[in-house]
Structure 1
Amino acid sequence: MNPLLSKFATKHDTAPFAQIKTQDFLPAFTESIARAKAEITQIANNPAPPTFENTIEALSFAGDTLDRVSNIFFNLHSAETNDEIQKIAQEVSPMLSEFSNDIRLNPELFARVKSVYDQKSNLRLTPEQSMLLDKKYKGFARNGANLPDDKKEKLREIDKELSKLSLEFGENVLEETHDFELHIADDQQLSGLPEGIVEAAKEEAKSRDKDGWVFTLDYPSYIPFVTYADDRELRKKMAIANGAKAFRGNTRDNREIVLKIAKLRHERAQLLGYDTHAHFVLEERMAESPAKVKSFLQDLLEKAKPAAEREFAELEQFAKDTDGIDRLEKWDGAYYSEKLKQQRFNLDDEKLKPYFKLENVLEGAFTVSHKLFGLTFNQINDIDKYHEDVMTYEVKDVTGQLVAIFYADFFPRKGKRNGAWMTSFKSQYIVGASNERPHVSIVCNFTKPTETKPSLLTFNEVTTLFHEFGHALHGMLANTTYPNLSGTSVYWDFVELPSQIFENWCYEPEALALFAKHYQTGEVIPQEYITKIKESASFQQGMATLRQLSFGLLDMGWHGQDPTAIVDLKAFEEAQFASTKLYPDVAENAMSTSFSHIFQGGYSSGYYSYKWAEVLDADAFEYFQENGIFNTEVATKFKENILSKGGTEHPMVLYKRFRGKEPKVDALLKRAGLL
């Protein structure tokens, strides 16, 4: 019996990881696709006249087995993959894209959806039902339902090819990340590196049956190395290796894949009647159009660039005065920034880390969400997990009702991609009298505990944990009827608001006092450190803003114009980076070949949304600050109008209901010290 295909006989309907074998996935996909197709056929061929209930609502709940199988499989593909899983992914991705197209290009089904859509003004729909109807209709119209048959066929071919290419892209990046190691035998070369990082590198070497120390391109190893290592040549080696991922002319080179993806996306948009891929994507975003995004990025660029150039000149002078460096290179940036920051604020991560033991920080996120939203988190050990490192929790509200199941997976390992993300194994939705609660997960890559020390986080890792936890709250507090409007199923330039606003509590003395305690003495973080954390928050914000804008501009470069004439990826990138360039170029490096957000994740034409959401989050947090950061009235408004509503109404309507007005960019500029 395939455990993926029957109702899970588990506590809270959680995924039965212990029973699932890798070989169960392919048959589970084949069978659940067949089941979903049968459900769709039934809806399409229903002899009764089309209604909202028998067509739109029925479609919303169709294919739930397939959704669960997909969620479990692709979450493992990101967090716990192996050759077998990657092979299955290559096989099932085209099957899934074919299935999506079978639905979207089904003429009988579309006729029923269109019939309900055309009667919309006469139907008495709730805002959520109205949004669902819009979304379903556009899902068809924006994906080829109105095309003639020959063009529908072309669309199918493109979608199949795109799903395979983005998988291949991600697998190449993962292999390139794991392929590199910096093996050090001479302890002189460890100069400048913090003790905890050196200890972790020794354990890494031991795990590879080597003497000495091994550093890798995984973030907890790479970032501290380029930030603290005194040996400039080794920093250069690491930085070049990191920037050369999938750009080395070997079998894992992503250049051709990137060009193919960009061109196929453009061809697809044109087929559907849009100027570019960005025009297609942004129609369903708060930003609405490429022109609006470009003007938003340009506006921020004008405000940030003078500050960034001043900061860069200061950093260059500092490196010259300190070590006689004539030309600041990319592998010098983090190193001298950290030194300058220490000189200015007498504050570094090594001073802060003892106060940020992972377990305490996680407990801090729990406490903050308890104070704001009345949630409690109880660790449980009687549900399955996909890896021993994963921690599992029951989340309950003030009445003791189950709100969600929460999984947390914090450490790097082979088979887990870099970065940090939130995901879910099961969405929230309401069926009959039952409000099905979500199963939400956050996945990060933090410094592992060693033999002598627990996992101590850098301040940047603390904000990362709070960021992903903000996404998790959006998923956990969801309270909508339909699974495809639930939780984080919102416009992509709105999805970062809950995550980014939650980071703000990491800078507030009142919140830090709850969890920032020395792991050995239990002493609360000194007030002078908190003051310095706040003061240093806007340190080099001009440069940081320019860096984010450069990624947004590169994304719009690939997707906001016709890419068919691009032959040289590197030359194209340089042109896109011209207005944001500070450091000299590195010939061996390229950004696009490992820019997973836009070529593997869902951020194509959407990278700008991080900055867009920062405007929302700075404006929203100002509201908390005006009333007290634990003000329950403001928190309840945020929960009821933003977190629980998912994608049931237009984000600006929800935002204005919470805030009472549209957001202004000034709050962000003030916070970043750019006004």
Structure 2
Amino acid sequence: MTNPLLADWDTPFGLAPFAAISDEDYAPAFKEALAEHLAEVEVIADNPEPASFANTIEAMEGAGEALDKVLSVFFSISGADSNPVRQDLQRQFSPKLSAHSTAIYGNAALFARVRDLWERRESLGLSDEEARVLMLTHRGFVRAGAALNGEEAKRMAEVKSRLAVLGTEFTQNLLADEAGWHMALSEGDLDGLPEFVKASARAAGEDLGKDGPVITLSRSLIVPFLQFSSRRDLREKAWRAWVARGENGGETDNTGIAAEILALRAERAALLGYRSFAEYKLETEMAGSPDKVRDLLMQVWKPARAQALADGEVLEGMMQADGVNGPLQAWDWRFYAEKRRKAEHDLDEAELKPYLQLDKMIEASFSCAHRLFGLEFRPLDVALYHPDCRAWEVLRDGKHLAVFIGDYFARSSKRSGAWCSAMRSQAKRPQVKTPIIINVCNFSKPSKGQPAVLSYDDARTVFHEFGHALHQMLSDVDFGSVAGTSVARDFVELPSQLFEHWLEVPQVLEEFATHAETGEAMPRALLDKVLKAANFDMGFSTVEYIASALVDLEFHDGKAPADPMKMQAEILEQVGMPSAITMRHATPHFAHVFSGDGYSSGYYSYMWSEVMDADAFAAFEEAGSAFDPEMAARLEKFILSAGGSQDAEALYTQFRGRMPGVDALLRGRGLAA
């Protein structure tokens, strides 16, 4: 029988036939699709006709259709619903994919055609997007080492293959540590926990087959436990397990892997003639250089650190008033910050959370997309890869635009965090493709029959990831290589972080923040408190983020450290890291940086994008409405639909008329002097 991964998918909207696919199908489909793609590339490279945009660049854009289908399914499922078989397949596939990439970028005949087109680019009569795709293709070949020869080319292939293996190992070790720890709670261990935390802990226990409540290392469960548990000993135990992910010794320890990854990245950059991996990586980003990144981070670090130190003194005073001697510790911060928030803003997370139902927050994000861009969302009854997933058809003016899939609940088979990915990217050439986009989150699953409720941060995550989805769904370009989120890394977070602002629009919360039990709208007084407290504890959250971004940057800007953990400690000491705050992502569990190259030297990009998102939302405020139709049209035209078809700075400047400074960000975070 035909392998379902390689068959024509006669399914609604070309969705993968998940129910027909078994784990045994992946390896043979992968092998066949890999060979098919390589054969397609060789036909392009060996074409006797002179190189043209159509027979070289556009032909490359259309190659690998079968491989795209196989990998889109496999990587979507292996990240969101892993098992030992899929983990083993990941370990097998990673070096093979690296070798496959090396074979393509190392194809001398193919590179000769691309280089010939690049040298003749002014005479080819290309459209702006075609010229952009040619530039990116040529640059990709050069940065991949296509111009290297002999031993240098051989070593580059070895380095990239090893990095692919190490990234997979890092991710799987982290998943194993997260799935392998839980803390069972007796009735006496529940002191201070509001009912929603108890319910989440019971649901987590049910998921693990336990009789009672448990705390896991899922952020959506451990953070509220650290906020509310009056058991300081249990807070410390949970916190230590959380920060020790990837650093527990034995087979799942990531410290050695991180050191080897950093060394290989430095070698890769050196082979291409760069001083450091950070210089190599940032060359293609908006920031352009490590110095510009460092300057931005330090501009924000100084006021954020000052605010955090002042806040820490207040929290330590509260702790000592409770009769706890000694300095404030990391496992104390969230507990006393929550007490302070309730005291100063009369805002209790337990009071707030029932008003933030997951289904209502999804509905709110859809409503904002409708008001801004005219999108409609119709539920689909289709088979997906897990029972928790749900899907919608996205339409505009009755015309099909995309399929959106949501996978929102934490489970032991899912890696931590939240992300958006494209199971199929938008394109018009060489064939028309409509996008299939998925948002994956890790919210606590409620007990059976109960509604899922979120923290305010979780509600932000719904909007954040849906902002990424809009970037994909509204993409309107010719070529898939520049569609949607295929943009500079420090531009990719702009649409997602910008969309978070609509959660704070009062009329959105007034309509969709309704109580899970009574159905009543959030009282205006509570809504006002939520909005007034939006910047509460911003010193803490800014410091923990920038600390991670600085460590990432310094790791890659110079000689690779033999002992990353020692260097991490030195960097934090140099910048004066407050003792009661830790990095948001310490090295052994810094998946953004070590599971692949995506955010390596690029974790700063959230803040770089925030400079723009604060300024971009200000444009709506200046227009007089968060739903101003003219500004929404400009946002879609110059940001969301354009993808990477133009330089990111040019796109933002067309939208806003200029590039922003850091002032709007500091004001937005409440850190301005």
Determine whether 1:276 maps to 2:276.
yes
Unpaired runs of 5+ residues, structure 2, are: none
Q: How far apart in 2 are the matches of 1:206 and 1:507? A: 34
Contact 1:244 1:590 in 2 (8 A): no
Q: How far apart in 2 are the matches of 1:218 and 1:469? A: 21
Q: In structure 2, do the counterparts of structure 1 residues 56 and 500 end up closer, same or farther at CA, with 3 Å as the change threshold?
A: same
Equivalent residue, structure 2, for 1:330: 330
Cα displacement (A) at 1:207 = 4.5
| Aligned positions of 1:600-611 closer than 5 A | 600-601=595-596, 602-611=598-607
Cα displacement (A) at 1:584 = 5.2
TM-score, normalization: structure 1?
0.97
Equivalent residue, structure 2, for 1:661: 658
Q: How far apart in 2 are the matches of 1:546 and 1:176? A: 26
Q: Secondary structure at the match of 1:404?
A: strand
Equivalent residue, structure 2, for 1:572: 567
Contact 1:158 1:268 in 2 (8 A): yes
Q: In structure 2, do the counterparts of structure 1 residues 127 and 190 end up closer, same or farther at CA, with 3 Å as the change threshold?
A: same
Q: How far apart in 2 are the matches of 1:57 and 1:136? A: 11
Q: Secondary structure at the match of 1:351?
A: helix
Contact 2:476 2:483 in 1 (8 A): yes
Cα displacement (A) at 1:541 = 1.6
Equivalent residue, structure 1, for 2:285: 285
Equivalent residue, structure 2, for 1:118: 119
Q: Amino acid of the residue matched to residue 615 of structure 1?
A: V
Cα displacement (A) at 1:358 = 0.9
Q: How far apart in 2 are the matches of 1:429 and 1:171? A: 33
Q: In structure 2, do the counterparts of structure 1 residues 14 and 211 end up closer, same or farther at CA, with 3 Å as the change threshold?
A: closer
Q: How far apart in 1 are the matches of 2:32 and 2:82? A: 22
Q: Amino acid of the residue matched to residue 607 of structure 2?
A: K
Contact 1:509 1:527 in 2 (8 A): no
Equivalent residue, structure 2, for 1:105: 106
Q: Secondary structure at the match of 1:607?
A: coil
Equivalent residue, structure 1, for 2:478: 481
Contact 2:203 2:446 in 1 (8 A): no
Contact 1:43 1:55 in 2 (8 A): yes
Q: How far apart in 1 are the matches of 2:408 and 2:103? A: 38
| Aligned positions of 1:221-232 closer than 5 A | 221-232=221-232
Equivalent residue, structure 2, for 1:308: 308
Contact 2:355 2:522 in 1 (8 A): yes
Q: In structure 2, do the counterparts of structure 1 residues 196 and 307 end up closer, same or farther at CA, with 3 Å as the change threshold?
A: closer
Equivalent residue, structure 2, for 1:421: 419
Q: Secondary structure at the match of 1:101?
A: helix
Equivalent residue, structure 1, for 2:645: 648
Equivalent residue, structure 2, for 1:129: 130
Cα displacement (A) at 1:590 = 8.7
Contact 2:405 2:438 in 1 (8 A): yes
Equivalent residue, structure 2, for 1:45: 46
Q: Deviations over 1:38-77 (max 9, x none)?
A: 1110111111111111111111221121112111111111
Contact 2:419 2:439 in 1 (8 A): yes
Cα displacement (A) at 1:206 = 4.2
Q: Amino acid of the residue matched to residue 415 of structure 2?
A: R
Q: Secondary structure at the match of 1:606?
A: coil
| Aligned positions of 1:170-189 closer than 5 A | 170-185=171-186, 187-189=187-189
Contact 2:247 2:255 in 1 (8 A): yes
Q: Amino acid of the residue matched to residue 592 of structure 2?
A: H
Q: How far apart in 1 are the matches of 2:122 and 2:312? A: 57
Q: Deviations over 1:201-230 (max 9, x none)?
A: 234334444443211111222111111110
Q: How far apart in 2 are the matches of 1:315 and 1:656? A: 43
Contact 1:425 1:439 in 2 (8 A): yes
Cα displacement (A) at 1:419 = 0.9
Contact 2:490 2:602 in 1 (8 A): yes
Q: How far apart in 2 are the matches of 1:586 and 1:540? A: 14
Q: Deviations over 1:399-436 (max 9, x none)?
A: 2001100100011112101111101111110036x642
Cα displacement (A) at 1:664 = 2.1
Equivalent residue, structure 1, for 2:618: 622
Q: How far apart in 1 are the matches of 2:495 and 2:535? A: 21
Contact 1:547 1:580 in 2 (8 A): no
Q: Amino acid of the residue matched to residue 466 of structure 2?
A: F
Equivalent residue, structure 1, for 2:14: 13
Equivalent residue, structure 2, for 1:77: 78
Q: Deviations over 1:109-131 (max 9, x none)?
A: 11100000001122222221111
| Aligned positions of 1:442-591 closer than 5 A | 442-451=439-448, 453-563=450-560, 566-578=561-573, 579-583=575-579, 591=586
Q: Deviations over 1:130-150 (max 9, x none)?
A: 110111001111111111121
Cα displacement (A) at 1:673 = 1.3
Q: Amino acid of the residue matched to residue 72 of structure 2?
A: N
Q: Deviations over 1:542-570 (max 9, x none)?
A: 2221211101111012111111xx33332
Contact 2:202 2:213 in 1 (8 A): yes
Cα displacement (A) at 1:301 = 1.7
Q: In structure 2, do the counterparts of structure 1 residues 480 and 200 end up closer, same or farther at CA, with 3 Å as the change threshold?
A: same
Percent identity reads 38
Q: How far apart in 1 are the matches of 2:230 and 2:580? A: 21
- Give the total of aligned pairs: 668
Contact 2:371 2:627 in 1 (8 A): yes
Q: How far apart in 2 are the matches of 1:459 and 1:554? A: 28
Equivalent residue, structure 1, for 2:587: 592
CA RMSD of aligned residues (A): 1.6
Q: In structure 2, do the counterparts of structure 1 residues 585 and 573 end up closer, same or farther at CA, with 3 Å as the change threshold?
A: farther
Contact 1:131 1:648 in 2 (8 A): yes
Q: Secondary structure at the match of 1:403?
A: strand
Cα displacement (A) at 1:534 = 1.7
Moved more, 645-654 or 293-302: 293-302
Q: Deviations over 1:284-321 (max 9, x none)?
A: 10001111111111222233222222222222222222
Q: How far apart in 2 are the matches of 1:176 and 1:127? A: 48
Equivalent residue, structure 1, for 2:151: 150
| Aligned positions of 1:156-171 closer than 5 A | 156-171=157-172
Q: How far apart in 2 are the matches of 1:452 and 1:40? A: 53
Q: In structure 2, do the counterparts of structure 1 residues 147 and 208 end up closer, same or farther at CA, with 3 Å as the change threshold?
A: closer
Determine whether 1:95 maps to 2:92.
no
Determine whether 1:390 maps to 2:389.
yes
Q: Secondary structure at the match of 1:473?
A: helix
Contact 1:367 1:514 in 2 (8 A): no
Unpaired runs of 5+ residues, structure 1, are: none
Q: How far apart in 2 are the matches of 1:167 and 1:505? A: 36
Task: Say which of 656, 659, 670 aligns to 2:667.
Answer: 670
Q: In structure 2, do the counterparts of structure 1 residues 352 and 55 end up closer, same or farther at CA, with 3 Å as the change threshold?
A: same
Q: Amino acid of the residue matched to residue 95 of structure 2?
A: P
Q: In structure 2, do the counterparts of structure 1 residues 321 and 75 end up closer, same or farther at CA, with 3 Å as the change threshold?
A: same
Q: Amino acid of the residue matched to residue 664 of structure 1?
A: G
Q: Secondary structure at the match of 2:428?
A: strand
Q: In structure 2, do the counterparts of structure 1 residues 226 and 585 end up closer, same or farther at CA, with 3 Å as the change threshold?
A: closer
